[in-house]
């Protein structure tokens, strides 16, 4: 089994600072922000989720949008039941797409570089690279 290794300390510092800047920009724009790890489980309410990954292979600042837990749970149940065309599922997909666009626009306007994820474990997230 391969052990996880952190990136160089200087790169860790850069990523943590970039994560802080990303959070500040989104909060200033009025987005509810959840910073991972989130021991208080703010994901219940939904918002922009920021995770700073400092491990080799997946390092970076990642941003995602989550809707409130009841809606996520409902959509999950519908998808598991095979009802992918349900209006609530389609609406959640539309919200996620719109919020990705909005998050990208706000972060880019603040001078940050944002790219779609190239990580198959984070297929719908955004990566803030600088």
**pLDDT tens track for 43-95:** 788 999 999 999 998 899 999 999 999 999 999 999 999 999 999 999 999 99
The residues, ordered by sequence, that sit 6+ positions from 50 with a Cβ below 8 Å of its Cβ are 19, 22, 23, 26, 33, 34, 35, 36, 61, 62, 63
pTM attached to this predicted model: 0.90
């Amino acid at each position: 089994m391969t052990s996880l290794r952190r990136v160089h300390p200087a790169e860790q510092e850069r990523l943590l600072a970039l994560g802080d800047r990303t959070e500040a920009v989104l909060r200033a724009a009025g987005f509810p922000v959840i910073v991972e790890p989130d021991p208080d489980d703010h994901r219940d309410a939904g918002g922009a989720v920021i995770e700073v990954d400092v491990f080799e292979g997946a390092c970076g600042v990642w941003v995602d949008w989550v809707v409130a837990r009841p809606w996520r749970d409902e959509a999950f149940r519908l998808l598991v039941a095979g009802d992918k065309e349900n209006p609530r599922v389609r609406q959640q997909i539309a919200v996620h797409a719109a919020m990705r666009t909005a998050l990208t626009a706000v972060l880019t306007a603040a001078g940050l570089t944002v790219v779609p994820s190239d990580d198959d474990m984070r297929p719908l997230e955004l990566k803030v690279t600088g």
